[in-house]
């Protein structure tokens, strides 16, 4: 296990370095001068030159890449040339709101989607199974931004029972949770349907396996067979999907945060792209990339608990 973790850690560092290199080179691929775009058309040449120097754009490309990798590996994203604030501070203030939104959405998807899938698998071809299938497929086809707009118009504009935008009153936990409900539901809608169909298919396959029939023939409790053997093995594909799904949730959070005016990573990256503020874009995208890689690592570790055969293969390797 230690060797496996070291390999995954090395792979994580390599992926992040490649992302840094790509984002640094991206500045030179996009047309236009970021310093001029950031300062506006009336900026004088001296101010543009100082801004380019502050953004490391006055140095050769290889030096820019090296400086970016060196700073980020030492835990620094630099300073925002526009506000003078530390980019670490800007990311640190936005990241918690996006993480809360993503994890609450993921929790809602699991809490709703898994029971729907289990019920469909244990009652195949029933009328409730068909209704669940229609609901699941409908949820899968609804993008998060469409669901967000619909929920906003329905519950905030039409019936006025939920707050529309923002995070709520500062320091008021209940108000924060209330403002979180609509964005979290909008982000979770697609995953509710996807997990429901995935769990149904996986559980039906497991229930038809030989070892499940053997356990039933041996007289084991149906409840024990279902929860200890069938459901546990049926959850393995879901864990694999959720490892990748964190990245999709973070991407979906960009649109949801814009719709509900939440000051998270999505809003931070979007505003930075609009202003051509590439240091903040690089910091935001790199943070999301790190979370994506970390989520996949956690999913791999969960495999070893859910499926001992994977752990055995690692020992043999």
| pLDDT band of 317, cuts 50, 70, 90 | very low
The pLDDT value recorded for residue 312 is: 44
CATH 1.10.3720.10 location in the chain: 97-316
Query: Residue 79: beta bridge partners?
Result: 86
Express each pLDDT in 7-63 by its tens digit: 877 887 888 788 888 887 887 777 777 777 777 777 788 888 888 888 888 888 888
What pLDDT does 309 receive? 58
Tokens found for residue 147: 């669901």
Mean predicted lDDT score pLDDT of the chain: 84
DSSP state letter for 126: S
Extract the tokens encoding 44.
């004088």
With tokens 């991407």, the residue in question is 251
Q: What is the distance between the alpha carbons of residues 32 and 106, in angstroms, rounded to a whole number?
A: 39
CB half-sphere exposure, 231, CA atoms < 13 A: 13
Helices within the chain (DSSP H only): 2-29, 34-39, 45-54, 61-73, 87-122, 127-140, 144-151, 173-207, 210-217, 222-224, 231-234, 236-259, 265-274, 278-306, 308-316
270-281 mean pLDDT: 85
Task: Report residue 307's pLDDT band, with 50, 70 and 90 as the boundaries.
Answer: low
Residue 160 backbone class (left: φ over 0; alpha: ψ -120 to 50; beta: rest): left
Sequence-distant (6+) residues with CB within 8 A of 236 are: 202, 303, 306, 307
Question: What is the CB-side half-sphere exposure of residue 248 using CA atoms within 13 A?
Answer: 16
Whether the Cβ atoms of residue 222 and residue 157 lie closer than 8 Å to each other: no
d(CA 304, CA 317): 14
Q: Nearest Cα to 108, choosing from 176, 186, 200? A: 186
Fill in the DSSP letter of residue 124. T
Q: Model pTM?
A: 0.84
CA-nearest of 109, 65, 107, 102 to 291 is 102
User: Residue 98 and residue 246: Cα distance in Å, rounded?
Assistant: 11
Superfamily grouping for domain 97-316: MetI-like (1.10.3720.10)
Quick one: average pLDDT of 184-201?
Answer: 92
CB atoms within 10 A of CB 134: 11
Q: Please state which of the ranges 22-31, 102-111, 196-205 shows the lowest mean pLDDT.
A: 22-31
Per the listing, tokens 């055995």 go with 312
Query: pLDDT for 111-155, tens place per residue?
Result: 999 999 999 998 888 898 899 899 888 888 888 888 888 999 999
* % of the chain residues with pLDDT over 90: 22
d(CA 122, CA 55): 59
Would you say residue 311 has pLDDT above 60? no
Q: Which residues pair with 86 in a beta bridge?
A: 79
Q: Is 230 exposed, middle or buried (0-12, 13-18, 19+ CB in 10 A)?
A: buried
Q: What is the pLDDT of residue 40?
A: 75
């Amino acid at each position: 296990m230690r060797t496996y973790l070291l390999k995954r850690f090395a792979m994580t560092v390599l992926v992040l370095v490649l992302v840094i290199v790509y984002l640094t080179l991206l500045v030179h691929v996009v047309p236009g001068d970021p310093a001029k775009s950031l300062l506006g058309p009336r900026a004088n040449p001296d101010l543009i030159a100082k801004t380019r120097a502050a953004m490391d754009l006055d140095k050769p490309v290889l030096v820019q890449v090296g400086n970016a990798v060196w700073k980020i590996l030492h835990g620094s994203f630099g300073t925002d040339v526009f506000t003078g604030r530390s980019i670490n501070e800007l990311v640190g203030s936005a990241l918690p709101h996006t993480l809360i939104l993503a994890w609450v959405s993921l929790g809602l998807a699991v809490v709703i989607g898994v029971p729907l899938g289990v019920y469909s698998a244990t009652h195949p071809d029933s009328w409730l199974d068909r209704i669940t299938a229609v609901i699941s497929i409908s949820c899968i086809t609804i993008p998060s931004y469409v669901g967000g707009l619909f929920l906003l118009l329905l519950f905030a504009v039409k019936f006025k029972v939920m707050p529309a935008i923002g995070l709520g009153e500062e320091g008021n936990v209940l108000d924060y949770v209330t403002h979180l409900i609509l964005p979290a539901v909008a982000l979770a809608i697609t995953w509710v349907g996807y997990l429901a169909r995935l769990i149904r298919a996986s559980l039906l396959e497991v229930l038809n396996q030989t070892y499940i029939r053997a356990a039933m023939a041996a007289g084991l409790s149906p409840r024990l067979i279902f929860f200890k053997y069938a459901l546990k093995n049926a959850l393995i594909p879901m864990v694999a999907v959720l490892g990748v799904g964190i990245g999709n949730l973070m991407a979906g959070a960009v649109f949801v945060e814009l719709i509900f005016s939440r000051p998270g990573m999505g809003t931070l990256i979007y505003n930075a792209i609009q202003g051509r503020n590439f240091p903040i874009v690089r910091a935001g995208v790199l943070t999301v990339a790190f979370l994506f890689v970390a989520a996949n690592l956690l999913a791999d570790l969960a495999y070893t608990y859910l499926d001992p055969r994977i752990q055995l293969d690692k020992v043999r390797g």
